[in-house]
Amino acid sequence: MSTHLVWFRADLRIHDNLALAAACRSQNARVLALFIATPQQWTQHHMAPRQAACLYAHLTDLQQQLADKGIPLIYAQVSDFAAQRQQVVQICDQHDVTHLFYNYQYEFNEQQRDRQLERELETVVCQGFDDSVMLPPGSVMTGNHEMYKVFTPFKNAYLRRLKEGLPECASAPAVREGEKVVPATLDFDYPQQAFDRDLFPASEKAAIAQLRRFCQQGAGEYESQRDFPAIEGTSRLSACLALGVLSPRQCLHRLLVEQPQALEGGPGAVWLNELIWREFYRHLMTYHPDLCKYRPFIRWTDNVSWQHDDALLEAWQTGQTGYPIVDAAMRQLNGTGWMHNRLRMITASFLVKDLLIDWRKGERYFISQLIDGDLAANNGGWQWAASTGTDAAPYFRIFNPTTQGQKFDASGEFVRRWLPELNDVPDKALHEPWIWADKHGVTLDYPRPVVDHKQARVATLAAYEAARKA
């Protein structure tokens, strides 16, 4: 009898899991599952404690679901990727594994680990799958067979491919014959911080239900509501996508069931656009592994003379910059492990373009806090905001934090939720409270702006221009 081992990584689900489905195809094979925690590696990658707690919740849920299917989950904890690789080899030897199944990870270190593992497992058949994307890297290329460097032409080519044929979803495995599996206690040695389970699903079943609700009720209105942080206009599914509790194929198919015109630019098209952004950054990382090494896509931007000011960085991190929309957003991040997408752009632009602080410091801080931390998406978003990445817009796109707040939180509903010290400030004055306070002789328990936006904009443009000429 052959023994199939499914190595779970960032794919904690039984539905539409390509590696799991392939391993279970043969009814005669014995199927085992494996998860190996790597706390030391997580520390090096700055995993957020809330994401660790979310991972643990979904891992225990996955273990029970696999047990219900008659598939035991082998669990181990090692320090890092090198030890993880050795652990897989050892487990394959212990259980006489004939076939190893896993879903590809596109980060540089993970790809290196998997390639070396395949070389070491000489007698084991290794099968990998492009599971975390709708279309695999290399399938959407320019006419010259190169990776796109700008999103819009990539998106257009991507949509053409989808219209030619949608990627299929794999069914959950059937119950396998054999002894009843009793789940063992799981534990990993990494700090965890509680997360709001009403906002973020803590099981695969809950994630699928939330996806269905959003596609029915929210996806059609996503375009008109997504930029307003006081409105629950986003899917809140990013944490599930980051951990692989949902697949992008599931999202695509559910969206098209509920919003059938999404592929043609109708209702739901803008949310589909966000899924394609996610694909773009994953494809890009495969062809440009330097993105995994804190290097900018546009090389000359490494010449920017960044400001090294720990006090300004801390003011940004703690929500004490004196710009209400920035501070409310950062306090939302610190308080929940999540930040609204529009606010991610505003806060990133402020750190880089107003404070002239290296975007990599912001990227790392976000990862250290985000429940939906994902290297490709986080890096892509930060490089977009810093004008160091793949984007058609030039470096002189600089968000004005005051007008952004006035435009997307005009009544101040979101700001007041996170900055109660501004509750007495009138709506019209809320995004420049210092002006109102000075005019009325009021003392606010809130800092004055750490920088003048107009002056900061001039200094940033000069810094980028000098870097470009250099």
382 is catalytic: yes
277 is catalytic: yes
| Active-site residue, selected from the candidate residues 341, 432, 434, 436 | 341
Per residue in 86-145, pLDDT tens? 999 999 999 999 999 999 999 999 999 999 999 999 999 999 999 999 999 999 999 999
The annotation status of 42 as a binding-site residue, yes or no, is no
At 261 the pLDDT is 96
| Active-site residue, selected from the candidate residues 382, 384, 400, 418 | 382
The annotation status of 281 as a binding-site residue, yes or no, is yes
Q: Please tell me the distance from the alpha carbon of residue 346 to that of residue 340, in angstroms, as a whole number.
A: 10
The annotation status of 351 as a binding-site residue, yes or no, is no
The annotation status of 106 as a binding-site residue, yes or no, is no
| Active-site residue, selected from the candidate residues 274, 413, 421, 432 | 274
Nearest to 56 by CA among 152, 248, 189, 149: 189
Contact residues for 363 (Cβ-Cβ < 8 A; gap 6+) = 294, 378, 379, 382
Nearest to 148 by CA among 263, 274, 283: 283
CB atoms within 10 A of CB 405: 26
359 is catalytic: yes
| Active-site residue, selected from the candidate residues 221, 273, 300, 306 | 306
C-alpha dist (Å) from residue 292 to 245, 287, 295, 380? 23, 11, 7, 10
Q: Which residues of 23-61 are buried (b: 16+ CB within 10 A; e: fewer)?
A: bbeeeebbbbbbbbbbbbbbeeeebbbbbbbbbbbbbbb
The annotation status of 278 as a binding-site residue, yes or no, is yes
306 is catalytic: yes
Instruction: Give burial (CB, 10 Å; 0-12/13-18/19+) of 88.
Output: buried
The annotation status of 279 as a binding-site residue, yes or no, is yes
Note the Cα 29 to chain centre separation in Å. Answer: 35
At 470 the pLDDT is 87
At 288 the pLDDT is 94
Instruction: Quote the DSSP letter at residue 351.
Output: I
Tell me the domains of the chain and their CATH numbers.
Answer: 3-129 (3.40.50.620), 132-168+204-287 (1.25.40.80), 299-469 (1.10.579.10)
208 contacts 246 by C-beta, under 8 angstroms = yes
At 224 the pLDDT is 94
At 396 the pLDDT is 80
The annotation status of 391 as a binding-site residue, yes or no, is no
Looking at the whole model, is its pTM more than 0.85? Answer: yes
The SS3 assignment for 211 reads helix
Nearest to 106 by CA among 115, 97, 98: 115
Contact residues for 276 (Cβ-Cβ < 8 A; gap 6+) = 154, 155, 158, 159
| Active-site residue, selected from the candidate residues 359, 363, 379, 400 | 359
List of the chain residues with pLDDT < 50: none
At 392 the pLDDT is 57
